[in-house]
Amino acid sequence: MKWRWKPDGCELPVFNPAWFLELVRGKSIAFVGDSLARNQMQSLKCLLSTVTHPVNESSTKDWRLRRWVFPDYNFTIELLASTHLVRVEGVVPVSMSPIHLYLDEVDQTWATKVANFDYVIISSGHWFSRPMIYHEKHKVVGCSMCNAKNMTDLTRYYGYKKAFRTAFRTLIDLQEFNGTIIMRTISPVHFEPEFQEGRGNCVRSKPYTKQDVKYDWYLEMFKKMQMDEFLAAEREGKERGLQFRLLDITEAMLFRPDGHPNHYGRQQGMPKNLADCLHWCLPGPIDLWNEFLLQMLKNESEGSREGL
């Protein structure tokens, strides 16, 4: 809680919830992605709750579909959870059985609900490090880490790239949608096996220095796939007037091995020795994502006024 990101050459203002709420008065934000999308939404809800209380208007108790409204500002945030952004079968949190991904078919859970949102923050990540079987055009085309005979291993990056391509294509083709598409880059993990046999944990109590940070080839490849599809979608989407914004949090979060729940954020029923070095504590480093988001909205607002 006591550490903050300082960009090179400038200062990042502390999050101002009243300012944020004024910028989004009468608007709506959808968080589309996995549990880290939920993590960011929870961070934003907590930050804004210091000014005004949100009302839970969720139509279900399912954590994957949560809707909060700030009546004083007519502002809505909604979580539309989707582990892989595309249609998927066989998602079980503690299982390593192959997940079936239909890479050219969007997940209708979110795709049918985003048309009227002003901002859609889209993200996905580490679910793609599980074993997967890929489907395209109604047939199996390969897999990742499936160890199946007579099946080509196309790697995790193939599925990741195609999933973002399908998600962006869906938004571009959705004629009713005229909002801003924000892509959040992948969030790093900090499982450190030297502290525990197996998966590892995250016991550090302060950020890394620049000398401490190790190059993560897997993370860079995931981010490259995201960026390739983002830039391609931006070029095409701009032709029909859509706005694209990049919420790049990857490098900043690499420095924060101290910000995870570790063993203290264990959900009921989960093994006691399971360390959570993927999600982020609240309050904590993840609040930075919404500080970036505030500056993005501020710049957009100032640009609109200059255009007038």
Give the residue numbers marked as catalytic.
35, 276, 279
Per DSSP, helices labelled H in the chain are: 17-23, 35-48, 108-111, 155-173, 217-237, 250-254, 287-307
What is the Cα–Cα distance from 160 to 208, expressed in whole angstroms? 28
Q: Nearest to residue 40, comparing CAs of 288, 307, 263?
A: 288
DSSP conformation class of 243: E
C-beta of residue 167 within 8 angstroms of C-beta of residue 233: no
Q: Nearest to residue 220, comparing CAs of 258, 259, 248, 261?
A: 248
What is the Cα–Cα distance from 106 to 80, expressed in whole angstroms? 13
The contacts of residue 237 (CB under 8 Å, 6+ apart) are: 168, 171, 172, 181, 244
Q: What is the 3-state secondary structure (H, E, C) of 64-116?
A: CEEEEEEHHHCEEEEEEECCCCEEEECCCCCCCCCEEEEEEEECHHHHCCCCC
